[in-house]
């Protein structure tokens, strides 16, 4: 869920290497984070070419790294330490040696290309001139500090719970569930409790707030670690998890909110007015804040972007709300024993399921059967130098083609595959085809909401149903992807919002929501702090961090570029400030309402 400006600012982190020619420069070459220096010493009597490719780049064409002159010639290159590199040394179109290795951050290595005395074939050997840094030490220190802080905030309330000596501490740490107006009834729910009046599900706000907190952290750079940024194409990273969780919670909240409004006698016309207003506001917010910031200067139509995160969330909310408005106002039948009772939460809403199946069929037909000029039918790759360089202009297949046809240049120009796959075509991860599967993801969240409604008061049944859905979706995703990153029928791909990606994220969402429901709403072991605070002001935190992300005190110009220390501190600092702001607004009972 990164904004375009934040992603564009971090694109330089994906550069695989930058060459530094002339052997005299190796010792003094400055290295930044995620970089290592390779120096090639050629002791052969012929010139050699050094080529490379990243193992994260699927079937990518080898790229030129350096040319090393014969007879003790040398040259150097700065390489990325993010992914495993496969390097080959060639002479006269013949491969002399090849190896795959993940180099360490800040390390300096010498590769000797020589002819061993006991062999007639050239070989390549490594020596380490400078040992690499421990790139994960800042992350380990931060994790330990966060663990200590968490233990303090968990332990202190229990210490003081028996004696009310500190009202301040009990206010911060021991709050129970509260009512709010965050998105009004869109997040209101009925819960298993001895009281007859409905209460708010803490697990929903906690889940939403957890997703939002992770999203803010990765949007601030995630400390510069590659696994806190979006995957270049296929596969999953931490950044790829947060938006599906948001969409899932939207679906769950729609069911619970409409159930509450149904009980209050809200008419269908009133519902249509409400959802239309909210959708329009979300679309307008997304379009304006995505395309303008005070840093950008005058608005220019040349870089206007039509799709975006809030636009997709708004449209998904609109479709899910229509489904619930016209085909979701069902009275829950009495708990009678019928053959269809175990699946009544599915059969009772067969019209909704029919529409979702038709939408998914449309996605499959367009994605796998639609002819795309110059591209193979059903192509799901990144194009560029991938797939042996055969389809350089086919980024995203049908999804990219439809978006370019509809939006032209007014779409995202810096896709995550650009630097690794050297693509030239724009590709928007919030495009049209992906929005179809976003609706499917939200519908899975609606199913979670129906389970909570149908089995209210029976926690064991709710958790078992959540587990069953997680297993079904997980197995389906494993089959579609063949448990591989690139070799499945439909790979797990956030850029395309592929079917396997939706099923995989649905599996995670059911498990995570089920765990939070058990801990916060059933056992009351945890009140959801601190995630519940941004979860109850999600729109404000998202829009606020998108607009103010480049400004002090949320971020500053970094000076320590050779390691992750300063960037990780800045990411955690900016995230913590927004959690603090959300907490202060919570104390003032201020909740941004749409």
The structure tokens listed for 281 are 């506001």
- Catalytic choice (24, 126, 230, 559): 230
CB 317 within 8 A of CB 310: no
What is the pLDDT confidence band of residue 408, given thresholds at 50, 70 and 90?
confident
What's the rounded Cα separation, in Å, for the pair 563 and 389? 34
309-368 per-position pLDDT tens digit = 889 999 999 999 999 999 876 666 655 566 666 777 788 888 999 999 999 999 999 999
Residue whose structure tokens are 């729609």 = 254
Q: What is the pLDDT of residue 298?
A: 53
CA distances from 443 to 4, 243, 356, 470, 506 (A): 27, 14, 8, 14, 10
Mean pLDDT of 70-98: 88
Alpha helices by DSSP H, 422-498: 432-454, 459-481
Contact residues for 122 (Cβ-Cβ < 8 A; gap 6+): 44, 89, 91, 96, 97, 113, 114, 115
Q: Could you tell me which of 567, 573, 527 has the C-alpha nearest to residue 209?
A: 527
SS3 at position 219: helix
Q: Could you tell me which of 107, 113, 112, 60 has the C-alpha nearest to residue 85?
A: 60
516-556 per-position pLDDT tens digit = 999 998 888 888 888 999 999 888 998 888 888 878 888 88
Per the annotation, the verdict on 191 as an active-site residue is: no
Report the predicted TM-score, pTM, of the whole model to 2 decimal places.
0.86
CA distances from 15 to 59, 82, 86, 134, 388 (A): 18, 10, 16, 21, 20
Residue whose structure tokens are 């500053």 = 556
What's the rounded Cα separation, in Å, for the pair 288 and 221? 23
161-186 per-position pLDDT tens digit = 555 444 544 444 444 443 333 443 44
What's the rounded Cα separation, in Å, for the pair 174 and 167? 10
What's the rounded Cα separation, in Å, for the pair 443 and 31? 48
Q: What is the pLDDT of residue 554?
A: 87
173-229 per-position pLDDT tens digit = 444 443 333 443 444 444 443 344 446 788 999 999 999 999 999 999 899 899 999
Neighbours of 60 (CB within 10 A): 22
Report whether pLDDT(373) > 60. Answer: yes
CB 536 within 8 A of CB 182: yes
Q: Based on C-alpha coordinates, what's the Rg of the chain?
A: 27
Q: What is the pLDDT of residue 4?
A: 42
């Amino acid at each position: 869920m990164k904004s375009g400006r934040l992603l564009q600012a971090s694109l330089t982190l994906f550069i695989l290497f930058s060459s530094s020619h002339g052997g005299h420069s190796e010792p003094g070459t400055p290295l930044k984070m995620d970089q290592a220096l390779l120096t090639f010493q050629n002791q052969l009597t012929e010139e050699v070419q050094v080529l490379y490719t990243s193992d994260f780049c699927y079937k990518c064409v080898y790229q030129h790294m350096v040319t090393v002159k014969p007879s003790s010639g040398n040259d150097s290159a700065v390489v990325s330490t993010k992914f495993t590199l496969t390097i080959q040394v060639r002479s006269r179109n013949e491969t002399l040696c090849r190896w795959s290795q993940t180099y360490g951050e800040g390390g300096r290595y010498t590769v000797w290309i020589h002819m061993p005395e006991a062999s007639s074939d050239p070989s390549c050997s490594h020596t380490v001139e400078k040992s690499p840094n421990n790139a994960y030490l800042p992350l380990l220190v931060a994790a330990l500090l966060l663990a200590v802080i968490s233990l303090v905030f968990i332990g202190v309330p229990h210490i003081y719970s028996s004696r009310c000596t500190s009202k301040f501490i009990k206010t911060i740490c021991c709050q129970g569930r509260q009512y709010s107006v965050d998105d009004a009834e869109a997040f209101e729910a009925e819960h298993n409790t001895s009281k007859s009046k409905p209460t708010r599900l803490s697990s929903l706000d906690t889940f939403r707030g957890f997703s939002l907190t992770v999203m803010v952290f990765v949007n601030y750079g995630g400390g510069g670690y590659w696994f806190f940024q979006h995957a270049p194409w296929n596969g999953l990273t931490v950044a790829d998890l947060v938006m599906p969780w948001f969409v899932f919670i939207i679906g769950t909240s729609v069911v619970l909110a409409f159930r509450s409004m149904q009980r209050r006698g809200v008419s269908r016309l009133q519902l249509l007015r409400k959802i239309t207003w909210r959708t329009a506001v979300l679309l307008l917010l997304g379009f304006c804040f995505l395309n303008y910031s005070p840093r950008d200067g005058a608005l220019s139509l040349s870089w206007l972007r039509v799709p975006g995160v809030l636009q997709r969330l708004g449209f998904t909310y609109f479709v899910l709300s229509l489904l619930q408005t016209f085909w979701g106002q069902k009275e829950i039948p009495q708990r009678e024993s019928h053959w269809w009772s175990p699946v009544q939460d599915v059969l009772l809403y067969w019209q909704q399921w029919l529409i979702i199946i038709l939408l998914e069929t449309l996605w499959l037909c367009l994605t796998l059967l639609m002819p795309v000029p110059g591209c193979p039918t059903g192509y799901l790759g990144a194009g560029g130098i991938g797939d042996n360089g055969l389809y350089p202009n086919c980024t995203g297949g049908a999804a990219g083609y439809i978006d370019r046809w509809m939006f032209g240049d007014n779409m995202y120009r810096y896709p995550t595959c650009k630097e690794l796959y050297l693509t030239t075509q724009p590709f928007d991860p919030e495009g049209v085809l992906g929005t179809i599967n976003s609706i499917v993801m939200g519908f899975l969240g609606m199913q979670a909401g129906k389970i909570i409604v149908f089995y209210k008061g029976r926690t064991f049944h709710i958790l078992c149903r959540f587990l069953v859905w997680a297993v079904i979706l997980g197995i389906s995703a494993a089959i579609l992807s063949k448990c591989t990153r690139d070799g499945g029928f439909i790979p797990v791909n956030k850029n395309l919002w592929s079917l396997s990606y939706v099923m995989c994220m649905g599996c995670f969402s059911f498990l995570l929501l089920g765990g939070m429901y058990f801990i916060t709403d059933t056992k009351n072991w945890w009140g959801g702090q601190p995630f519940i605070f941004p979860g109850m002001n999600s729109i404000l935190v998202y829009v606020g961090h998108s607009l103010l992300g480049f400004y002090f005190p949320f971020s500053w110009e970094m000076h320590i570029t050779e390691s992750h220390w300063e960037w990780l501190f800045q990411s955690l600092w900016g995230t913590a400030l927004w959690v603090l702001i959300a907490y202060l607004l919570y104390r003032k009972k201020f909740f941004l309402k749409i």
